[in-house]
Copies of this chain bind each other. A is one copy, B any other.
Amino acid sequence: MVQSSVSQRVNRSKRLVSIKDIAKEAGVSVCTVSLVMNNKDHNRVSKAVAQKIRATAKNMGYKPNSVARTLRTSKSNTLGFVTDEIATTPYASKVLEGAQDAASKLGYILLTTNTNNDAELENQEISALLRYNVDGFLYAMMFHRKVDIPEVLEGSPTVVVDSEDAAGRVPSVYPDDELAGYDATDCLIKAGCRRIVYYGSATPIVAQGQRLTGYRRALAEAGIPFDDALVVNVLETTNAAAEAARVFDEIKPDGIFCFNDVRATFIYEAARERRVRIGADVSVISIDNQPFITNVIKPSLTTLELPHYEMGFEAVRQLVAILDGDKAVADLESDRGMAVQRQRDGSKTALRCRIIERDSIVL
């Protein structure tokens, strides 16, 4: 056994000071103490007594027991954070960080659990959280998709993070991929590009469709006709290199909007082989902001950042608004929340992606 286990175990028996202890010490009843400790003493307890109670509580180092309070009130100030698979994508765990920050500011803590994309395990884990009386759930996915809310969650306030409830019933917070497609394309247009390739994903995920839609909208607004031949959808594992070659050899665009940073590396490689200078001969923009890519490849890649932190933060804000009412979250401000624009449609909240300007766009 580990060396220090014994000495550590000893301390476990230490009983914390309770409301009863301070009642005895202050010479009042427990209910008076309770009133005061919950700041419900106004016009119910004399100033002097309240004063004394507060003082002795402080002296004795009183900390309210959340477990007891939960049992009594069946309100735990606790949120279940359920993920399908955390962190297969780097930085996706920023979602958790945002959720934790918001929760902390609102007086909540998070019970987190990972379902490994296993429906049975998911059920078990959620049931476990339920037994701990969590007040609500964050149902967080690894990427933007239409998702079915598990049945066990019915009856518990829930907010979906980085996905949309397929049934359209549960509030959902996710990136505005249409706007990201628009912003990225618009950025190229503003840089003077007129022949813009969308180097997209051949997998029909939500982001692909919406980013393409945004691409088309930006073109339309600029009066540039849409040309199907400029849409090149690829798979990282199969035809990405070949299609990147074709982009330069046949299409010869002046701007390229890549679905993500990884795909952009194929464009970079093809450009290098042809001595096409990105940031000088052709402009490139993409989405994801994986610093290990965007800062490492030359020239550094201009890209849009998915609002991971903000999604977590906003989802908690909405969940607590459901739980405790809008006033409870009124003065909650995200440190970085100002960077995103919300776009609401019923119970859906699409968060704008921030653009990170680097050197891959021709000035």
User: Given that A290-B292, A318-B2, A346-B3 are known contacts, is A67 also in contact with B71, CB under 8 Å in the complex?
Assistant: yes
A334 at the interface (CB under 8 A from B): no
B-contacting residues, A269-328, CB 8 Å = 269, 290, 292-293, 296, 298, 318, 321-322, 326
A171 at the interface (CB under 8 A from B): yes
Expressed in whole angstroms, the Cα–Cα distance for A113 and B105 within the complex equals 12
Question: How far is the CB of A324 from the nearest CB of chain B, in Å?
Answer: 11
A46 at the interface (CB under 8 A from B): no
User: Given that A290-B292, A296-B265 are known contacts, is A112 also in contact with B112, CB under 8 Å in the complex?
Assistant: yes
Question: How far is the CB of A260 from the nearest CB of chain B, in Å?
Answer: 11
Expressed in whole angstroms, the Cα–Cα distance for A270 and B170 within the complex equals 52
A51 at the interface (CB under 8 A from B): no
B-contacting residues, A2-18, CB 8 Å = 2-5, 8-9, 11-12, 14
A26 at the interface (CB under 8 A from B): no
Q: Is the CB of A8 within 8 A of B65?
A: no
B-contacting residues, A228-279, CB 8 Å = 261-262, 265, 269
Q: Is the CB of A111 within 8 A of B109?
A: yes
Expressed in whole angstroms, the Cα–Cα distance for A101 and B118 within the complex equals 13
Q: Is the CB of A8 within 8 A of B97?
A: no
User: Given that A97-B114, A114-B97 are known contacts, is A2 also in contact with B67, CB under 8 Å in the complex?
Assistant: no
Residue of B nearest to A346 (CB): B3
Expressed in whole angstroms, the Cα–Cα distance for A112 and B5 within the complex equals 23
Partner of A293, one of B9, B127, B296: B296
Chain B residues, Cβ within 8 Å of A121: 104
Partner of A76, one of B63, B67, B269, B326: B67
Q: Is the CB of A131 within 8 A of B5?
A: no
Q: Is the CB of A2 within 8 A of B292?
A: no
Q: Is the CB of B347 within 8 A of A64?
A: no
B-contacting residues, A160-199, CB 8 Å = 169-171
A100 at the interface (CB under 8 A from B): yes
Residue of B nearest to A165 (CB): B4
Chain B residues, Cβ within 8 Å of A326: 1
Q: Please, could you name 29 A-B residue pairs with CB atoms under 8 Å apart, sorted by A? A: A2-B171, A2-B321, A3-B347, A4-B170, A5-B171, A5-B322, A8-B157, A9-B157, A11-B155, A12-B156, A66-B128, A66-B133, A67-B67, A71-B71, A81-B112, A85-B97, A86-B96, A87-B90, A90-B90, A90-B290, A101-B116, A104-B114, A109-B111, A109-B128, A110-B113, A262-B292, A262-B296, A292-B293, A293-B293
Closest 9 CB pairs of A and B: A90-B90, A93-B93, A11-B155, A87-B93, A66-B131, A5-B322, A100-B114, A8-B157, A2-B171
